[in-house]
Structure 1
Amino acid sequence: MLRIRFDCFPGGVHKALTLSYDDGRIHDRRLVEKCNQYGLKGTFHLNSGRLDEEDFVTREEVASLYQGHEVSTHTVNHPFLEQSPVEQMVTEIMEDRKTLEALVNYPVRGLSYPFGTSNDQLVALLPSLGIEYARTAVRQGGYDMPTDFLRWHPTCHHHQMVEHAQRFVALKQRHTKLALLYIYGHSYEFANNDNWELLDQLGEVVAGNPQIWFATNAEIVSYMRALQQLRFSADCRMVHNPTAQNVWIRVEADTVELPAGQITVLG
């Protein structure tokens, strides 16, 4: 039987990098500009109830500002969801989704937990609200893929991102596997700490690296779901990719691209 491994991101690379920022403060404008400059991809979790307020981005600019990145929910009013009745959990998430989706014209499927807090009741509720992933504020410090996308722990806060990026780029694995550098924070922290140069330093380390897939949170989740939907023959010599996106797998020592909607003979 062929040896098959799910150890490839798009293009056959083994590493991915994503950024995640909360609240939608006006400093997102400078952050997005820096991301675009260095080819970084980010997910921006917005509170629709705060749009147009002082120091927050406006509804009018959301679609254009975050174009090429991802807009995700952070609830309407930023409450402690785990201290809320179920009805309030539902309203905070669904009303935020509806408002944001009307602004960006695509389904909003992700969440960043306000204050980074949650409980089992909330996590169990999320799939019924159309939420496919939810980010915590637990810094796990490593590069392994999450085992639970509804409790997605980032690698590090952005004040540690340069040292992690250096380590990530130099990462050598005895056996190839998917590796993810997940950076999170708040754009206002760059302004408060006057350390915008961290983004330039990150860019100098990773920009243009052909061994890294730069992706939004939703793109990573979508890709991993597509991998899990592959349909193999009993002897693993044929595979059908029923999804709408191409995926890559390792077959023996070779990288094989599996086109969307097609059956591929592997050997």
Structure 2
Amino acid sequence: MLECGMKVAQSWDDGVVDDLRLTDLLRRYGATATFNLNPGLYQSGRSFGWHYGDKEVWRLARDELTTVYAGFEIANHSLTHPNLADLSPMDLAREVGDSRRLLQDWFQQPVRGFCYPFGTFNPAVKEAIRATGHRYARTVAEYDWVFPPGDPLEFGVSCRFVDPAFWSRYEQAKASNGVFLFWGHSYELLDDAMWADLEHKIAGISADPAAEWVNLESLFAA
């Protein structure tokens, strides 16, 4: 059961260099967050990932991870970010299980959450996630009431961090003492104006006496 007051959580995917600036911002305002990582994609140095429009997106180096994400919840985003529903049972088990073991070894903390690459899953994927010890799996489906979910392995979100309806959805969750969960990728922050808007949101939530930052795994601890 939720205690009186709204709980606020945020979930960020893919573990890229922009997370350096993001985690610094979150620490300044005492905000918790969950970072969903793919341990099979990190190299000894920073590595090019892909283009987001005209922007180059780079992955962090393996030896940066524990410093960048110190103090934050780490969740499993699969080993190499494939479409899990397309995999053989053996490859699926490796993508889901090996990645969890690596993350727990690297960060020396339990990894209880999962985030579906591309937001896609099927019954076999859900069973593999359940079998490897995850308590919840985050989707990209949006709901007015996100917690408790009908199925913890189909855990939906309130909105993306850039949603024009961000504050109206926030107030809706607050009116019902519910959970407000937003998500995104830090590489989507393309300029100082977008960073300033995000800082305004983080600062506003941290200053709201009716809101409490929480880690996602804490919602499923009971």
2:14 is the alignment partner of 1:23: yes
C-alpha contact 1:73 1:110 (8 A) present in aligned 2: yes
Aligned residues: CA RMSD: 2.1
Residue in structure 1 matched with residue 124 of structure 2 by the alignment = 121
- Of 36, 42, 47, 2:38 maps to 47
Equivalent residues of 1:39, 1:208 under 8 A apart: no
Deviation at 1:73, TM superposition (A): 0.9
Comparing 102-111 with 209-218, greater Cα deviation is found at 209-218
Identity value in percent = 25
2:127 maps to 1:136: no
1:164 & 1:58 partners in 2: Cα distance?
A: 38
Q: How far, CA to CA, are the matches of 1:16 and 1:209 in structure 2?
A: 11
Matched residue SS, 2:67:
helix
1:101 aligns with 2:92: no
Q: What TM-score, normalized by structure 1, do the two folds share?
A: 0.72
Matched position secondary structure for 2:179: strand
- In structure 2, do the counterparts of structure 1 residues 144 and 131 end up closer, same or farther at CA, with 3 Å as the change threshold? closer
Q: Name the aligned partner's letter for residue 19 of structure 1.
A: Q
State the Cα distance separating 1:14 from its structure 2 match: 2.6
Residues 192/116 of structure 1: CA separation in 2 closer, same or farther (3 Å cut) = farther
Q: Which amino acid aligns with 1:92?
A: E
Equivalent residue number for residue 199 of structure 2: 200
Report matched runs for 1:211-250 at 5 Å. Answer: 211-222=210-221, 225=222
- Equivalent residues in 2 for 1:107-186 (5 A)? 107-142=110-145, 144-160=147-163, 162-164=166-168, 167-168=171-172, 171-173=174-176, 178-186=177-185
Q: Secondary structure at the match of 1:159?
A: coil
Q: Which protein shows a greater Rg? A: 1
Report what 2:188 is aligned to. 189
Distance 1:74 1:155 in 2: 19
Count of matched residue pairs: 209
Runs (5+) with no aligned partner, structure 1: 1-5, 226-267
Secondary structure of residue in 1 paired with 2:9: strand
Structure 2 unaligned residues grouped into runs of 5+: 49-57
Report the residue type matching 2:118 in the other structure.
F
Q: TM-score, normalized by length of structure 2?
A: 0.86
Contact kept, 8 Å, 1:14 with 1:212, in 2: the verdict is yes
8 Å Cα contact 1:76/1:93 also seen in 2? yes
1:209, CA displacement in angstroms?
2.7
Partner of 2:25: 34
